[in-house]
Amino acid sequence: MTVSSTMQLRCELCQIEINENADQSDEVLFSRGATGSRSKLWARVCQYLKTDEQKAACINQDLSQRGVEMPGDRYEEIAPFEVGKAETES
């Protein structure tokens, strides 16, 4: 019987926790909602880092670890609407 090894990482920048699994894909523990993948974390958080200092502190910058972005990783787009415009009655 083999024992799977799991190591938990915490990003000092955004405080996200990642369970690194040797036998399967890594599991990201978001502060709210369901767990996700490193590619989901990238699509929602990490890609928006601006400075080299921020990028150096991020534990999810390695493309080989996060993989390609998958459908559902980004937040869903919503249709634009006008605020404050009352509908007229006919």
- Residue ranges of domains in the chain: 6-62
Single-letter code of the amino acid located at 72: G
Q: Taking a C-beta distance cutoff of 8 angstroms, is the pair 17, 8 a contact?
A: yes
Residue 7 Cα distances to 18, 28, 32, 42, 74, angstroms? 8, 12, 21, 20, 26
Kindly report, residue by residue over 22-81, the tens digit of the pLDDT: 778 899 999 888 999 999 999 999 999 999 999 999 999 999 999 889 999 998 888 888
Residue 56 Cα distances to 8, 10, 11, 18, 53, angstroms? 19, 14, 11, 17, 5
pLDDT of 4 higher than 80: no
Mean pLDDT of 4-27: 87
pTM for the whole structure: 0.75
CB atoms under 10 Å from CB of 57, counted, come to: 14
